[in-house]
Amino acid sequence: MARETSFWRWLAGRVPAGHFTRIESEAIPGVPDVAYTCGPHTQGWIELKSLAAPKRDSSHPLRRRGLNPDQIEWIKTETGVGGTVWIFVKLGRFIYVYPGQFAPFLNQWDFGTLKMKADHTLPLGKKKSWVKNQLRVILHSDS
């Protein structure tokens, strides 16, 4: 939880204009960490995961600390009715971004597959304006 809070603090300073709400609730199991609206017809959810980068591509970084069954089910239900969910996975110095449809598979994938299957890869060392522009592109597209 602390890693996701720190990750959100970093990300919050780089998101495009819009309304972003960090959700901290045990009342509804599986609800993603952030709800967002960036304009008409541009809203969705972001699930955050933050882990140390594995040393080998064959490692399975999300096996123990990945999505829990409630999160996977919530994301499947939301995307199944046309909702938008993005999964942002910070592994070391990179953020890998996946559409919600990948939720059932992420925990099973090794690091090499996670890198290969990401829709977007954001290096943490890039300028704030570059990251903000990339996030605008991601959040304004369909997951």
Lowest mean pLDDT among 105-109, 120-124, 133-137, 138-142: 138-142
- Quick one: pLDDT at residue 40? 87
Spatial separation of the C-alpha atoms in residues 53 and 59, rounded to whole Å: 10
pLDDT tens across 68-79, in order?
999 999 999 999
| Predicted local distance difference test score (pLDDT) of residue 21 | 95
* Statement: residue 50 has pLDDT above 90: yes
CB atoms within 10 A of CB 108: 11
* pLDDT at 39 (0 to 100): 85
Look at residue 134 in the predicted model and tell me its pLDDT: 92
120 with 67: CB under 8 angstroms?
no
Q: What is the pLDDT of residues 11-47, one digit of tens each?
A: 999 999 999 999 977 788 899 999 999 988 899 999 9
Q: What pLDDT, on the 0 to 100 scale, is given for residue 49?
A: 96
Using alpha carbons only, give the angle 109, 115, 135 rounded to the nearest 5 degrees: 120
Q: Residue 142 pLDDT > 90, yes or no?
A: no
Tell me, what's the pLDDT at 1?
A: 57
Closest CA to 105 of 136, 75, 138, 139: 75
Strands across the sheet containing 43-51: 19-22, 34-37, 43-51, 85-91, 94-99, 120-123
Q: What is the pLDDT of residues 64-118, one digit of tens each?
A: 889 999 999 999 999 999 999 999 999 999 999 999 999 999 999 999 999 999 9
Q: What is the mean pLDDT of residues 52-70?
A: 93
C-alpha distances in Å from residue 43, one per residue of 38, 105, 125: 6, 24, 27
